[in-house]
Chain A
Amino acid sequence: MAGLAASFGSGAMTNSINEIAQAACILVTGSDTTSGHPVIALEVKKAVRNGGKLIVANPREIELCRYAGIWLRHAPGSDVALLMGMMRVIVDEKLADVAFIGEHCENFDAFRESLRNFGLDFVEKVTDVPSAKIAEAARIYATNKPATILYAMGITQHTHGTDNVLATANLAMLTGNIGKPSTGVNPLRGQNNVQGACDLGALPNVYTGYQRVDNPDVQNKFEIAWGCSLGSSPGLTLTEMLDAAHSGQIKAIYLMGENPVLSDPDAKHVQEALSKLEFFIVQDIFLTETAELADVVLPATSFAERDGTFTNTERRIQRVRKAVEPVGNAKPDWQIICQVAGRLGANGFDFEHPSQIMDEIASLTPSYGGVSYQRLEECGLQWPCPSKDHPGTPILHVDRFVRGLGRFTPLEYKPPAELPDEEYPLILTTGRSLYHFHTGTMTRKVSGLNAIEPHGVVEINPVDASSLKIADGHKVKVVSRRGEVICKAKVTKESPPKVVFMTFHFAESAANILTNPALDPVSKIPELKVCAVRIEEVQET
């Protein structure tokens, strides 16, 4: 997000889902789309049926590889080298869109200078992808227009995740694939309302619509609207909060609908941090692994028992409608917050329906300015939607970038924070399965999904399996510097040699006990996609 905002002026998906099928070229990188975003994968397949060229860049043999014209199986964490290598080819072979760059972009010369370090011999060595294949992919992307880029957490969850994102932005600008239908750089958001939670200011440095807390005009506006004085220095990010809880600096946490004990890296550290709190409130629909540590647990309603809105990955604000009454004494989260605020004597929380909250949001948020429940009835609205008569915005950066000129960023290759060594010779990478979601709080309550995929496995290449004398279905212990988990091995060529794969849906074999909490310095996203592990056989008793 930080990367795209720096390059273009906005961190959101630039284009819309229904444009994908008309793309002449699609580059899917760091996304196992058929598992993580199955319905978007249908649009990718549709594009291939329409004659579009699909390039998949992924260390794992994901299902989309079957539909791909070219599959770049690069080493985990080598994305910057791969993408810069492609751009080097595009520049050297004069396939760049010079007119677009001249008119709409800045800092190109410094960027071009940084391409010098990415000779294809070096790139081949770092990525393990033959240079001819990289060159072919570069030509396909540069010459089949419109071309679009789709990426997900496989790009961002690295200590150099921001650089990865900047590389995708460079690539799109280099070929003029931005601001037009079926082009752009499109981060696929993992959860139903990640986009909305960011848009609405559930971030330490911004109010709604990315209005900065350290901007005095913004601060003044919110102080007047809310009738209080507000702080001007950004707060702590989630990972920083947990560290601060660990050190005793943060004493009380109010947590709503998350399960960091399973979703965050280095689970042991998270658990310790939360246990040190003086007061810990958890509001959720189930007694999650995290809620078990709380002092007070408040019963919330599920999405089916409340009204509201979610904003999807393509910036479309859509209605959530109540289908059934809340179970027992559960209440919707918005009502609970209003009641807590009321007990603390605060004004400005007297809402009877979420539509009134949206009206307040619209009055304070330029990009949501034209949004009202009445207008969302038919098929939602894509922000920016600044006024009541604005139709919404399917494509960003048309005619000019949100920040004015698109900014090229010179990049260098940085290896992952933790690389394999003698003691921990394998790379562990993590991801999602089609059949479960996030920490499994919802999907593991569904018997059919459990029947199809009852437990977590570690996927391992047949070469590594045979050298470790591990057979398919054997119980193994996966060990990293931070902890160990026991699960069954699945021997499959989908994992490349020296790389093993786990999902993070399963509490009893939680991948995040193993993962590395090292952060990207800009986005503060942890490196969940690469850490070093070893695998040991477990004797069945």
Chain B
Amino acid sequence: MVICEKTEVTNLTIDGQQIAAESGMTIFEAATKVGIYIPSLCAHPTLPPSEECGLCLVEIEGEPEFVISCTTKAAENMVVHTETPELRQKQRQVLEKILSEHPNACLTCWRKERCQPFDVCLRNVAVTERCVTCPKNGRCELQEVADFLDIEAEPIPYKYRGLPVNRDNPFFDLDYNLCIACGRCVRACRDVRGMQTIDFTELNGYRVAGPVKANHKESECRFCGACVDVCPTGALMERCGKWQGLPEDSIITTCPYCGVGCQLILETKQDRIIRVAPVLENSVNQGQACVKGRFGIAEFVHHPRRLTMPLIRKNGELTEASWNEALDLLAEKLAGYKGDQFAFIASAKCTNEENYLAQKFTRMVMASNNIDHCARL
């Protein structure tokens, strides 16, 4: 990675820790850099700050009021506190206001880690609002923040919005009932993708994010999924794998489509890919992908028409055969075509190692330099 600017340093203290922050950093960024957690729902490492959620309050010595840390720049010799009881009290108030418009039984129920989707809800929560019927249950940032701030006690007064779920495109659903209007999706679309597909809007008096025109396609959505990736709740969810819950395993690999080489996380369960998301850190794509990489992988990998057996043409028809039969036939036939009458067409879809072996095989075993691939097409 290229670092060209010279970096000046701002020295400040957060929770008694001396920090040398890069000049221009906010208090929130400086704290995050050294691993101090400040609760927040609208800040995201790929997005410009917005103050939308109002949670990331901190106390600066000498300042009469708490300040929002995601937009306040770190200053020389500043002394910051992030965990005083007064701050926590204030943050709980802010969060409770958010929760008064979001189903919240999942945040406060002591049984939330035990129930299965078809268990009877002991809290008597309506089926649309249960923790186990939220696709983000267990992966939700709102749950994390509520846990951190120790929101428990009695349920917070809340009325279900009863808004219809927007299913206007094949890739993701938008459940307005779960939207907390943090604006991350709006900023991801506008400030990172350079589009303006989604914006804040009002539905039945509730402030939510949604497509600017009748549907996502008309709003020029390119279905990159950047909005889904930054949504802290279950409001924006990819439809594929939506109800799969937590993955059993996940690996980082390179996207098989264009030459950019985006790094993708493949989440798997029972030997199937359930979700694909772009990698944020240490990657050429910095948390971004496109519709093909984000939504176009699992279905072709697990497609029923995948070839699973060798095929040999017999009486004009391609018929299934064993590997042994196929390899024997190849060896017998190829032995007769060594030299210039043989050619190998390798592939820009195959790995480096496979292309290396293809040319080694052609040149060494088949004694031919007739090897090429579709680089020109």
Other than the given A205-B369, A234-B369, 6 more pairs (CB < 8 A) read: A157-B377, A252-B341, A287-B318, A294-B311, A311-B352, A437-B258
Count of A-B contacts judged by CB separation below 8 Å? 456
Chain B residues, Cβ within 8 Å of A327? 302, 306, 308
Chain B residues, Cβ within 8 Å of A485? none
Q: Would you call A510 an interface residue if the criterion is a C-beta within 8 Å of the partner chain's C-beta atoms?
A: no
A37-B318 in contact given A196-B351, A343-B328 (Cβ < 8 Å): no
Q: Would you call A429 an interface residue if the criterion is a C-beta within 8 Å of the partner chain's C-beta atoms?
A: no
Chain B residues, Cβ within 8 Å of A45? 193-194
Chain B residues, Cβ within 8 Å of A339? 323, 327
Chain A residues, Cβ within 8 Å of B361? 337, 340-341, 346, 349
Interface-lining segment among B106-114, B159-167, B259-267: B259-267
A448 touches B283 (CB 8 A): no
Q: Would you call A538 an interface residue if the criterion is a C-beta within 8 Å of the partner chain's C-beta atoms?
A: no
A449 touches B307 (CB 8 A): no
B343 touches A191 (CB 8 A): no
**How far in angstroms is the closest Cβ of chain A from B175?**
18
**How far in angstroms is the closest Cβ of chain B from A519?**
9
B374 touches A260 (CB 8 A): yes
A197 touches B194 (CB 8 A): no
B311 touches A254 (CB 8 A): no
B371 touches A452 (CB 8 A): no
B345 touches A323 (CB 8 A): no
A241-B370 in contact given A197-B348, A313-B260, A344-B334 (Cβ < 8 Å): yes
Chain A residues, Cβ within 8 Å of B261? 192, 310-314, 316, 318, 380
Q: Would you call B82 an interface residue if the criterion is a C-beta within 8 Å of the partner chain's C-beta atoms?
A: no
A295 touches B282 (CB 8 A): no
B344 touches A256 (CB 8 A): yes
Interface flags for B190-220 (1: CB within 8 Å of A; 0: not) read 0011100000000000000000000001000
Chain B residues, Cβ within 8 Å of A94? none
In-complex Cβ contact of A203 among B300, B354, B365, B372 (8 A): B372
B341 touches A199 (CB 8 A): no
A249 touches B284 (CB 8 A): no
**How far in angstroms is the closest Cβ of chain B from A124?**
31
**25 A-B contact pairs sorted by A residue (CB < 8 Å):** A36-B258, A38-B222, A38-B291, A42-B192, A45-B193, A193-B350, A200-B356, A203-B375, A238-B373, A241-B370, A252-B341, A256-B358, A258-B348, A286-B305, A299-B309, A302-B256, A302-B301, A303-B349, A306-B351, A308-B352, A319-B253, A328-B308, A330-B308, A334-B357, A337-B361
Chain B residues, Cβ within 8 Å of A333? 347, 350-351, 354, 357-358
Q: Would you call B37 an interface residue if the criterion is a C-beta within 8 Å of the partner chain's C-beta atoms?
A: no
Interface residues on B, range: 35 or more
In-complex Cβ contact of B305 among A257, A287, A346 (8 A): A287
Query: Once the chains are docked, how many angstroms separate the CA of A200 from the CA of B329?
Result: 28
In order of increasing CB-CB distance, the 5 nearest A-B pairs are A328-B308, A312-B261, A308-B351, A235-B369, A257-B347
**How far in angstroms is the closest Cβ of chain A from B173?**
12
Query: Once the chains are docked, how many angstroms separate the CA of A63 from the CA of B250?
Result: 35
A452-B309 in contact given A236-B370, A319-B253, A324-B273 (Cβ < 8 Å): no
Chain A residues, Cβ within 8 Å of B323? 329, 331, 339
Query: Once the chains are docked, how many angstroms separate the CA of A324 from the CA of B301?
Result: 9
B359 touches A330 (CB 8 A): no
Interface residues on A, range: 35 or more
A312-B272 in contact given A200-B352, A320-B254 (Cβ < 8 Å): no
Residue of B nearest to A231 (CB): B369
Interface flags for A189-220 (1: CB within 8 Å of B; 0: not) read 11111111111111111011000010000000
In-complex Cβ contact of B308 among A156, A299, A348 (8 A): A299
Chain B residues, Cβ within 8 Å of A156? 376
A256-B194 in contact given A348-B360, A448-B296 (Cβ < 8 Å): no
**How far in angstroms is the closest Cβ of chain B from A318?**
5
A358 touches B352 (CB 8 A): yes
In-complex Cβ contact of A285 among B255, B307, B330 (8 A): B307
Q: Would you call A244 an interface residue if the criterion is a C-beta within 8 Å of the partner chain's C-beta atoms?
A: yes
A435-B292 in contact given A42-B192, A379-B283 (Cβ < 8 Å): yes
Chain B residues, Cβ within 8 Å of A314? 261, 284
Residue of A nearest to B272 (CB): A324
A256 touches B345 (CB 8 A): yes
Query: Once the chains are docked, how many angstroms separate the CA of A306 from the CA of B333?
Result: 28
**How far in angstroms is the closest Cβ of chain B from A104?**
21
In-complex Cβ contact of A341 among B288, B291, B326, B365 (8 A): B365
Interface-lining segment among A15-23, A75-83, A463-471, A486-494: A15-23
Q: Would you call B353 an interface residue if the criterion is a C-beta within 8 Å of the partner chain's C-beta atoms?
A: yes
- State which residues 30-62 of A face B: CB under 8 Å: 34, 36-40, 42, 45, 49
Query: Once the chains are docked, how many angstroms separate the CA of A319 from the CA of B253?
Result: 6
Residue of A nearest to B305 (CB): A286
Chain A residues, Cβ within 8 Å of B6? none
B345 touches A238 (CB 8 A): yes
A202-B256 in contact given A250-B341, A330-B306, A334-B357 (Cβ < 8 Å): no
Chain A residues, Cβ within 8 Å of B372? 202-204, 235-238, 241
A238 touches B256 (CB 8 A): no
Chain B residues, Cβ within 8 Å of A128? none
A340 touches B356 (CB 8 A): no
Interface-lining segment among A105-113, A131-139, A401-409, A438-446: A438-446
